[in-house]
């Protein structure tokens, strides 16, 4: 017993249903109620978060400026002030002050490595141009 293709029958059924809905407004209203309820629930639902890694936001402590700390307290003072910060805040410092435009620190997980990079870059940027000063 060969199976017949139901596609033409479904197409005829849907055409007939569509023409019936165009002519019979009360039937169209009853059949559209579940669809409208679904659409309403979708618009009221919370927006979906994008898939992928979630970025953990970490704000800098208020008034924190690594250049000012380095100028006032030197390398040891800057190291001491960075010790109390977590990894995400250290990365926020690097990002906020543009200390590593290549973002080589993005995958680093060790606090010591991040603090050393911050101190190194702050020192380098603070001393930039001092070669031309008179002694």
Give per-residue pLDDT as tens, 16-60.
988 998 999 888 888 888 888 888 887 766 566 666 655 556 678
User: Residue for token digits 């197409």?
Assistant: 11
Backbone angles phi, psi at 56, to 5 degrees: -90, 115
How confident is the model at residue 4, as a pLDDT? 84
* 98 or 135, greater pLDDT: 98
Tell me, what DSSP letter sits at residue 59? P
Cβ atoms of 114 and 94 closer than 8 Å: yes
Average pLDDT over every residue of 94-101: 90
Q: How far apart are CA 102 and CA 117, in angstroms?
A: 13
How confident is the model at residue 3, as a pLDDT? 76
- Domain spans of the chain? 7-44, 66-129
pLDDT band at 116, cuts 50/70/90? very high
Cβ atoms of 109 and 97 closer than 8 Å: no
Average pLDDT over every residue of 57-79: 87
- Written as six digits, the tokens of 91 are 């990365």
Q: Among 128, 126, 127, 121, which residue's Cα sits nearest to residue 82? A: 121
How confident is the model at residue 5, as a pLDDT? 87
């Amino acid at each position: 017993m060969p199976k017949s293709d139901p596609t033409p029958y479904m197409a005829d059924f849907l055409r007939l249903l569509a023409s019936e809905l165009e002519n019979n407004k009360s039937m169209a209203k009853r059949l559209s109620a579940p669809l409208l309820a679904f659409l309403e629930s979708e618009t009221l639902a919370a927006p979906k978060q994008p898939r992928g890694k979630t970025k953990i936001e970490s704000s800098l402590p208020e008034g924190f400026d690594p250049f000012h700390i380095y100028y006032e307290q030197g390398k040891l003072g800057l190291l001491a002030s960075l010790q109390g910060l977590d990894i995400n805040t250290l990365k926020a410092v690097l990002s906020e002050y543009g200390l590593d435009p290549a973002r080589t620190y993005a995958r680093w997980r060790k606090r010591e490595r991040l603090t050393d990079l911050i101190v190194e870059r702050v020192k380098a940027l603070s001393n930039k141009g001092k070669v031309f000063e008179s002694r």
